[in-house]
Structure formats: structure tokens, C-alpha cells
Chain A
Amino acid sequence: MAGGGFISTGGRRSLMLLLPPFLYAIVLMAVPLGAVVAISFSGPDGFSLANYAAVFTEPINVRGVMRGTWAAGDLSWTPGLLPRSIYVSVMVTVATVVLAYPVAYFISFVVPPQRKSLWMFLITIPFWTSYLIRIFLWKVILGFSGVINSALIWVGLIDEPLTFILYNANAVIITLSHAYAPFAILPIFVALEKIDRSLLEAAQDLGENRVTTFLRVTLPLSVPGVVAAVLIVFIPTIGDYVTPELVGGSGGLLIANRIQALFLQVNDPGLGAALSIVTMAAVALVSLLFVFTCRRWLRSRT
């Protein structure tokens, strides 16, 4: 397309300007991703599907372990890391977005306009403070002799430390919900800000009360922001291996820990690459399903 006769002079100038960042992204992102695909399909003698076979046959990755039998009624499934990671990411996303919505609503509808950017600034501050330190602190807050437990024992509310809050999936969900809070609030806030306030007055003039106005006007109109928030939380949380390692305990390890280990410890880049691709595909599939469902729901209402 570059230099084609149908691009205006101004268009050509903007193309020339965009080329450096674009080529940078090609060389350091598109080409490397291509290389990952290539090594995922490579074996000792050329093209091979062995890595993908291993992804789906090794129990640890996807399949998990099935115990007991259906007939005996003691059937149990310990899922592999990929299904478990998707479950944890979905829980993180639900928790983050549900907790964030009222805050975005509050800033958009209750806070006076001149104070809005101060609130948004306050909400983004914790996000910009050292990521590792924040995880360490959650470990300290949630730990066996940590802040919550020692404070509760100190004031006499409990006698024994609570154990269900550290070194399991709950701790991962709490820590990640904290980390991704501003990512959820911002898109919802932007969507709420765009809503024409006269629509809400009209709804109330037509006899809706506050709750039904919210459910029938505000909420549907803010769906694009919610969808953006869900995607912007769900997709990156899959890629975090530090939070599960520091607060997740042995049962809290996730797919990103496995990928990290395959590259840096086990040194099996082929399998690691195949697992990365399968993870990406699974994330994309879940995201597309979600977007599709939301779109159908919105359409069914009109």
C-alpha cells in the first residue's frame, strides 16, 4: 500500500511517521510471535506435532487427573493448569469488574465534575507503585501471622489464625483484583460519562424509578465499557506468574508458571511454545465467546 497513488500527500506524511513505531512492533512482536509458532511445530527432524500432542496428553497441562469411577460415585477431577488458570482469571475478572462498577458509577454520577479527575488520579496511584512490592505486601497482609490475622487476634475477634486466605486460589484472586482495579474502573467510567443525562430524566419522567432506570437505561448503555473492562482484566491476568508463585502456594500455581518453568528451568522451548500458543488460543476463544454473548444480549433487547 505504501506509496500507492491513491494516498494523499498528508496521508503519506502520516504513514512515514507511523512507520518507525509500526516496524518496531513488527520486528519485536509480530516476528517473535511467528518464531514461537515455528518452534512449537518443530521437532528433532523438522515439522512435528509432538509438542501439541504433549500439551494435550501430559496431565499437568490441560487434561488433569481423573480419580475414582462414575459407577462407584467417587469420581473426582483435578483439572490441569490451563482450565484452572482460566477459572482463576474468570473469577478475578468477575470480582474486579463487579467491585469496580459501583466506584465508576459513583465517580461519574455523584462526584462533582471538577473533582472527577482527582478521583481518577487517586485510583490510578496504587497501580503505579512497584508491582512486586505490592504482591509481597499482600503476602504479608494475608499470611498466617500476617496483618489480618495478627490484627484480628490482637483485638480478640479470633483465637486461631485464618488459613483460607493465603497460599491458595483465593489469595491469587484478591491480589490480582487489587492489581487490575484501575483497568476495570477506567473503561466503565468512560462509558458512563458518555451517557446522555437527559435519557435518564426522560426515563424518570416516564415513570421509571431509580432502580429500573439504572437496570433499563444506564446498565445497558454502559455495556461497552464493561466489555472493555472484562477483556482488559481477563487477558493479562492469564500471563502473570509472580502472583501465583508468591501468594498461591503449591496448589495455586497457574499456566504461566508452567510456561516460565519450561523455558527457564526445564529448557523445553518447543513444548513451552506450544503451550503458549494453546493458552493464547484458549484466551482468545473465551474472549470472543464473551463478546459474542454480550452482543446477542444487547441485540435481543432492541
Chain B
Amino acid sequence: MTKGWGLRIYALIYLLFLFAPIILLPMFAFNSGKIIAFPLQGFSTTWFEQLWTRTELHRAVQNSLIIAVSVAAISTVLGICAARAGALDDYPFKRSMIGLVMLPLVLPEIILAVALLVIIAKVLGIAPSVWTIIMAHVLICTPYATAILNGAFQNLDKSFEEAAMDLGENRWGAFRLVTLPLVMPGIISAFLIAFIISLDEFIIAFFLSGNVTTLPVYIYGLRRQSDDLPIIMALGTILVTMSVALLIVAEFFRRRGMRRAGIKDSGGLL
């Protein structure tokens, strides 16, 4: 079978291009040399050890975790509302209302950052804090959560809930006992994706952070110190390992959700 071998080679080279940074990352993180270049010097864990001594980094991680967990919770709830509404009956302007909820997905981030800075800092005069970043991140994570949950809600058989109501459950009971378990994998997956996006978001966080440091804001602050580059590599290795692990869990739940809803899987997480 030789069909498409040229394409196959091209696709593999393309995958190599996509994964090049992730493959190189641990190589330099465990390299004892201060300069990031080939040939590699020798194995060392010193850059990881140095991460423990940086108290400002610990503060940043703490802030980022508070933000990411809150954002994931709030945007998953908003995503459930939007996805469930999308699967229920139509009414005038429903599509355009959903379109507005999904709009942050395609707006340039700098525009959202500017708009949020103007309204939060200049108009309302609220000082930048963890809360202002949470408010902004919920805006950009809700569309992602909605997109994932749409997959879970869309093809759900309506007759299940109707059957539960015929058997004496009220509407909320039917939702809680029948629909919720069926879409739970989608909910977990949406939560994890929102968590990862918020943890990693920089462009908007930088505008709204003031003197609150999040993890990406901290990493950005190291950009001019070339001595710190190996430490960034070590930090990056930890982050990449963590998000790949979370992604695999999210993908597992997303697929399980798709199977429960009885639809053929056709794409990745996006």
C-alpha cells in the first residue's frame, strides 16, 4: 500500500516541527551548561533545584492557581448554560446571542486586553488584582468550555429527560439525575481546558495584573536575563509535563462523553 506515502512523510515532518520545542525543552532543562546550545554539556538537575529558592516564583504560582481554579469553575458553569441553551428550543436571536458569547474566541487578544483595562482601571477605577484577572479570563475561557460542552449536549437524546419527568421527577431532578451524569465527562474536560488556558494566558493578564504576578507574567519578567534561561527551561519542562498530563485526562473524558452521547468522534479538543 503506497497510497499517500509522500503525504505521510510530509505529515511526520510537520509533526516534528510542531513538537520541536517540546522535545528540546527537557534536553536543555537537564543540561548543565548555562548557554542554551549544542553540543550539550552534561546531565544536571541544578536548574530544577534553583526553582525552589525563588520565593517570587512561588507567589506567582499561588496566584495563578487561585485564578485558574476560579476561572475554570465559573466558565464551566457559564459554558453549561450556553451549551444547554444551544441544545434546547430555538427562539428569535438565539444564534446571534450564542455568537456573542463565542466572539472572544476570534477577537485579537490585544483588543480585549485594551477594552478590559479601559473599563476596569480607567472607567470603574478598580485596582488591578487577582479578581480583575479572573473576570477577564472567564470571558475568554467560556467560549472554549461552551465548544467542548456543545459536543456533550448537542446529540443527547431528549426522550431520556422526558421519560424521567413522566416517571415523576421535576425538571431539575430530571436534569440532575439523567442529563448531568451523561454530560459529566464533558464538564470535566471543559473544566480542565479552561484551567489550562487561564494558567497559561499572558497577554490579558499582563494588562490587568498591576503588581500581582501570575506565572506567565513572572516568566515574561525573566526575558532579559540570559542567565535565567536554563531556569525557564526547567520551569517549562514542569509546566509542559503537567499540561500534557491534564490534556490526556481531558481528552479521555471528552471521548467518554462523546461515546455516552452516542456520537462519532471527529476531532481533537479545539
Contact = CB atoms under 8 A, between A and B. Distances in A.
Interface string A194-236: 0000000000000000000000000000000000000110011
Interface string B160-200: 00000000000000000000000000000000000010001
Interface of A: 1, 4, 6-8, 10-15, 17-22, 24-26, 28-33, 35-36, 39, 99, 102-103, 105-107, 109-110, 116-117, 120-134, 136-138, 140-141, 143, 145-147, 150-151, 154, 178, 181-183, 186, 189-190, 193, 231-232, 235-242, 246, 256, 259-260, 263-264, 269, 272-273, 276, 279-280, 283
Given A121-B269, A239-B109, A154 B100 contact: no
Contact of B266 (A21, A141, A190, A236): A190
B267 interface: yes
Contact of B268 (A30, A102, A121, A269): A121
A191 to B, nearest CB: 12
Interface residues of B, number: 91
A33 B113 CA distance: 10
Contacts of A20: 78, 81
A117 B3 contact: no
B91 A12 contact: yes
Contacts of B28: 140
A141 B21 contact: yes
A25 B103 contact: yes
Interface of B: 3-4, 7-8, 10-11, 14-15, 17-22, 24-25, 28, 35-39, 78-79, 81-82, 84-86, 88-94, 97-98, 100-101, 103-104, 106-112, 114-120, 122-123, 135-136, 138-139, 142, 146, 196, 200-203, 207, 216, 219-220, 223, 229, 232, 235-236, 239-240, 243-244, 247, 251, 255, 265-270
A151 B38 contact: yes
Given A32-B115, A150-B37, A26 B100 contact: yes
Nearest to A245: B223
A25 B120 CA distance: 14
A126 B108 contact: no
Contacts of B135: 28
B14 A99 contact: yes
A256 B100 contact: no
